[in-house]
Amino acid sequence: MHSGKNNSKKDLIALQKEILRCRLCEHDFGYKPRPVVQGSHNAKIMQISQAPSKTVHETGKPFNDASGKKLVTDWYKISWEDFYSPEKFYIVSMAHCYPGKAPGGGDRRPPKICSQQWLSKEIELVDNKLYIIIGGFAAKLFFPNESFTELVFEDREINNKPAYIMPHPSPLNVKWFKDNPAFAEKRIIKIRDDVNRLLKGAR
C-alpha cells in the first residue's frame, strides 16, 4: 500500500516537472508558455477548470485574479492558505497555460493537446476524495453530451468519486448567474459545506 502511494508521489512529481517544461503550444501562442499546476498526489480536492488567465500567466499562481477571489472568498469561504495547500487542493486546468486572447474578445479555447498529453495522467496519479469541475469547457470534457446547467445542479461522479460541476466565477459570466439564481441561493451552499467538511476532516 505504502509503496504504491510513494510511487504515485514520485511519478506525479516527475510528471509535473515535465508539464512545467512543456512548450508544445509555443508556436501557436506567439509567446513563451508558462504552465501552471499546483498540488500533491494526496490532495483532498482535485479542481479542474478551463485555462489560466493572463493574470495567472503573469504571476504563476492559479486563480490569482478576480475569478479566484470570488471562488475562494465568496463561494468556498476558505482561507487562501487552505486553497493553496498542496495537500488540500490539486489545482489544474484543461490547458496548463494561458491560451491568449480570442479575436472576438475573451480568452481562446484551451488547446485539446494539453488535456490529452497531461491532464489524463494527472487524474490517474492524484488520490483525491472529490472533484470540482469549473466551467462549460471542462464539464464537456467529462460529460460531453449533457446540459451544462443541468450538471451544475446534480451530484455526479468521476472515477467513482463524487464530483461537483460549477459555473466559472469570472466577472464576465453575469448572464448565467442572472438566469440561474438558484446556484447562488442554494447550490453553492451545499458545495461549500462539503468542501469545508472535507478540508477539516481526516483522510
The pLDDT tens digits of the residues spanning 42-93 come to: 999 999 999 887 778 777 688 988 899 999 999 999 999 999 999 999 999 9
CA pair distance 43, 83, nearest whole angstrom: 11
Residue 3 has a pLDDT of: 44
In the chain, where does DSSP find H-type helix? 2-21, 26-29, 54-59, 66-69, 80-83, 112-114, 120-125, 136-142, 148-152, 174-179, 182, 188-200
Residue 1 has a pLDDT of: 38
CATH number of the domain where residue 103 is located = 3.40.470.10
Residue 113 has a pLDDT of: 82
User: Which domain, by its residues, includes 105?
Assistant: 2-200
Distances in Å between the Cα of 120 and the Cα atoms of 37, 129, 160, 163 are 14, 17, 16, 16
- Number of domains observed in the structure of the chain: 1
Residue 77 has a pLDDT of: 97
User: What residues are paired with 173 via a beta bridge?
Assistant: none
**127 in Cβ contact with 117 (< 8 Å):** no
Furthest-apart CA atoms within the chain: distance in Å: 51
Q: Please list the ranges in the chain whose pLDDT falls under 50.
A: 1-3, 202-203
Distances in Å between the Cα of 31 and the Cα atoms of 16, 55, 144 are 21, 15, 31
CA dihedral 102, 104, 105, 111 (to 10 degrees): -20
Residue 5 has a pLDDT of: 58
